[in-house]
Amino acid sequence: MTRELTFAQAISEAQAQAMEDDEKVFLMGEDVGVYGGIFGTDVGLYEKFGPERVIDTPISESAFIGAATGAAIDGLRPIVELMFVDFFGVAMDQIYNHMAKNTYMSGGNVHVPVVLRTAMGGGYGDAAQHSQILYSIFAHVPGLKVVVPSTPYDAKGLLLSAVKDDNPVMFFEHKLLCGLDWLPFGVKGPVPEERYYLPIGKADIKREGKDVTIVTASLMVHRSLDAAKILEKEGISAEIVDLRSLVPLDKETILNSVKKTKRLLIVDEDYLSYGMSGEIAAIVAENALYYLDAPIKRLALPDVPIPFSKPMEDYVLPNSQKIAQAVRELMKSE
């Protein structure tokens, strides 16, 4: 029988194996130690590696992200956990101006192998300051890789690759994927016990289809797969492209899929304006416009703060029914 892990367990195992393989790897952040991470992604690491390599920090994101950047420049390979991506503002200078730019500004003489893990996403009533996605902000900054896994298998393989990468990597984990009892959704899946390394910058086709391409990432991969099952009963075959990373972006896989299906829906839990959905729409418009049988369609979060109220939160977040309806509209348009 194939072993299955939750998303959170896969991340914890990847970190443990990376720390076993290289004594320069260590973990730091809020509640990563005795507590095991607020979303269960660090369970067992403190007991195994001790307080010198699994470091609980004060609530000072600018301090511990800055410390991780300095440690990386000095030859270590830190994994640093930003509890919620919404909190990045207080460490903006450390991320934008130091972590992202020091390799370039040193003429390639300084490497900054930091993995900055962070939790993102809504869907469980945590309101406007704890429910955002925001990965497009970091994808906009040269010097940062941006990784967005959707399955336990991808999470482990991409995290192991991120730790070995000499560039700073932003690693985004949707809270609803983690598999915790108190969250309204979770995923489990087959994860090999041995180490394996997935290439950063290679998308994955999670479902083959012929009528429409749905390009998406993270939790929205699962919402899109559910929508594809609904559409299949209506005679519509949807292909699901899981980006897995925004930087580097696998343009080739996107374009090849669109050229095959001739219709494109981009689904994003991030805000609609100036985000991932607009970037992918532009890439397809520039490189595959004449293959399209219908205008490109986008489904994303409206440009509003994410509500605390469950009915209002459900109203603004993309879901499988909204995705299915967007595809129906796309199939009718020419």
Q: Which residues are catalytic?
A: 130
* DSSP string covering 207-256: E--SSEEEEE-THHHHHHHHHHHHHHTTT--EEEEE-SEEES--HHHHHH
Closest alpha carbon to 113 in 121, 105, 103: 103
Orientation of helix 219-232 relative to helix 320-332, angle to 10°: 60
Closest alpha carbon to 189 in 147, 154, 225: 154
Contacts (Cβ under 8 Å, ≥6 apart) of 287: 251, 255
Give the pairing type, strands 188-190 and 297-301.
Answer: unpaired
What's the token pair of residue 210? 């012929």
> Can you name the residues that pair with 213 across neighbouring β-strands?
239, 264
